[in-house]
A and B are shown apart, each in its own frame.
Chain A
Amino acid sequence: MSVVEVARDDGATLKGVTSTVLLDLRAVEKVFADKVVLAPTDLRVDEGSFVSIVGPSGCGKSTLFNVIAGLLRPDGGSVTLQGRDVVGATGHVGYMLQKDLLVPWRTVEDNITMAARLTRRVGANDREEAREIARRYGLGEFLDHYPKALSGGMRQRVAFMRTLVTHQQLLLLDEPFGALDAQTRLDMQKWLLDVWRESGRTVLFITHDVDESIFLSDRILVMSPRPGRIVADVDNPLARPRDIDILTDPTFVALKARIMHLLHGGTS
């Protein structure tokens, strides 16, 4: 068994502040028909942090998310969220994909309250919250619109609001901006950072865009295929709040070079 040890032993103390581990994966493993898609993987994520996962297509990033979300049962290992074993359970994370998955027959407001509708009765306070969040993030005028009337960027915002109002602490975002054009994507990244800061959530973010991962996160996990595993856990020292000018910061550029090197089979 080749366990790649990436869990950080200093996980409990970061920058001198005591932080709590929100998500704890130990030796999580997934095999599809004799193909090891995920080698035994350890991962600890601190509450309130923003962690990105980069890696080539097919290295098991989405599989890892599906195990955490409870869509897939791992073939080995444990998944603990807030100290609770969640293997095979659902209903404990927010989850968003590249596809917005808005339903065409519901308005923006009713799409935002979709998680509530799927689990219980939608109350007046759910609707009020949806309206409030849409207004706060610039979609107040589109509450009564059907999704098809919105641009791709707006739809992803609605999808993210739908994820936020689940009130889950951990948000799994699987290449959420992958289908957007460069300009919209940059806007969305800045927007996401604002929302993340205000909401105090913990984000696990899959991307294949190294710039995006550095711009957004506190930590970048680099994955590699055959078998899928985490080969590096890179701390991002860039100060927050960040703006686009950090894209040319020497620290940013050095970090990018290091991650690119790791992605192409190099070792740290």
Chain B
Amino acid sequence: MRVVTPFISIGLLLLVWQAVVVGFHVKPYVAPRPLVALKAVSDNWGVLWPLVLEIIRETVFGFLGGAVIGVFFGVVMAKVRFLQRIIYPQLILSQAVPVVAIAFPLTVILGFGSVKPIIAIVIWIVFFPVTVNVLDGLSHVDQDLLNLARVYGASRWRTFIHIEVPGAVTPLFSGLKIGATYAITGAFIGELVSPPLGGTNLALYVEHANSNFDPASVYGVTLLMAAIGVAWFLLVAGAGTLATPWERRSVARRWRRRSIAAPQVDH
């Protein structure tokens, strides 16, 4: 049931769209019916699917890059206080700059027509919520717990690995989920400003459809991208659920049970 409700909810949205277009006699060149939009996608699937694959790749690689960089900044700022005072304002500034504006110089720097600026823009968008949440998680570890580790004679490294890091997993995934929803937007903006030389991509496809008065394709591809965004979010959220079984379960899963499984290596 839990799994189905989001799809029912999105289905309802499409129904409302259909009802509005039909009920208010909205002209097809203003907004098509959802089924017409979807048909525009399926009719052109042969042209579209390599472009879709490409934007998925950009989204995923950019997201992963953003996740790694986001974690890096979060950890560095949590561990080195004076670096936090220097880096944090700059990171905030990076997010205050409109992405579309920064996209042009990025293209010039990383090479017009290359995929690099596109990935860079996705990273730019994704890393920030990850950094903020990781920093938050690492800075709010119970002081008494840290003291307990000290009393035991724990090294800073082991305290970090066994106390601070696991405590930051839940906030890490909060950041990753925010990043996951934005990643596809970043990829689309990137594709707009850095199209492949002599080639095409999904963003250009939408642009052409728009100038050719083909709203069905514009809406159809937009729906498709939304679907990619949602699917990626669900994947990341699912990974988060797997990574934090203690949030929902009372008893550890069998493969995590040390008392039943053969002795395993531990740090």
Q: Which B residues are in CB contact (< 8 Å) with A103? A: 145, 163, 166-167
A122-B30 Cα distance, complex, nearest whole Å: 66
Chain A residue, CB-CB nearest to B259: A143
- Would you call B153 and A119 a contact (CB within 8 A)? yes
Chain A residue, CB-CB nearest to B142: A101
- Would you call A144 and B166 a contact (CB within 8 A)? no
Which of these, A93, A117, A145, A149, contacts B151 with CB under 8 Å? A93
Partner-A contacts on B (CB < 8 A): 142, 144-145, 147-155, 158-159, 162-163, 166-167, 169, 244-247, 249-252, 256-260, 263, 265-267
In the complex, whether A256 has a CB less than 8 A from a CB of chain B is no
Q: Which A residues are in CB contact (< 8 Å) with B169? A: 105
Chain B residue, CB-CB nearest to A95: B151
A123-B264 Cα distance, complex, nearest whole Å: 9
Chain B residue, CB-CB nearest to A102: B145
Q: Which B residues are in CB contact (< 8 Å) with A237? A: none
- Would you call B151 and A146 a contact (CB within 8 A)? no
Chain B residue, CB-CB nearest to A140: B259
- Would you call B150 and A71 a contact (CB within 8 A)? yes
Q: Which B residues are in CB contact (< 8 Å) with A90? A: 150-153
- Would you call A107 and B252 a contact (CB within 8 A)? yes
In the complex, whether A110 has a CB less than 8 A from a CB of chain B is yes
Q: Which A residues are in CB contact (< 8 Å) with B265? A: 121
Chain A residue, CB-CB nearest to B165: A105
**Contact bitstring A94-131, B, C-beta under 8 A = 1, else 0:** 01010101011111011000110111011110010001
* Contact A145 to B259, CB < 8 A, known contacts A101-B145, A118-B159, A121-B266: no
- Would you call B259 and A118 a contact (CB within 8 A)? no
In the complex, whether A45 has a CB less than 8 A from a CB of chain B is no
- Would you call B256 and A119 a contact (CB within 8 A)? no
A117-B161 Cα distance, complex, nearest whole Å: 10
Q: Which B residues are in CB contact (< 8 Å) with A143? A: 257, 259
Which of these, A69, A105, A109, contacts B258 with CB under 8 Å? A109
Q: Which B residues are in CB contact (< 8 Å) with A178? A: none
Please list the 10 inter-chain residue pairs (A to B) with the smallest Cβ-Cβ separation, ordered nearest first: A91-B153, A118-B154, A149-B250, A124-B263, A95-B151, A122-B266, A146-B246, A115-B152, A105-B166, A144-B257
- Would you call A145 and B158 a contact (CB within 8 A)? no
Which of these, B154, B247, B259, contacts A109 with CB under 8 Å? B259
A-B contact pairs, 30 of them (CB 8 A): A90-B150, A93-B151, A95-B148, A97-B144, A99-B142, A99-B144, A101-B148, A103-B163, A104-B246, A105-B246, A106-B166, A107-B258, A117-B158, A118-B163, A119-B153, A119-B158, A121-B267, A124-B263, A127-B258, A127-B263, A144-B256, A144-B260, A145-B251, A145-B252, A146-B245, A146-B250, A148-B246, A148-B250, A149-B250, A166-B152
- Would you call B152 and A107 a contact (CB within 8 A)? no
In the complex, whether A70 has a CB less than 8 A from a CB of chain B is yes
> A56-92: which have CB < 8 Å to B?
66, 69-71, 90-92
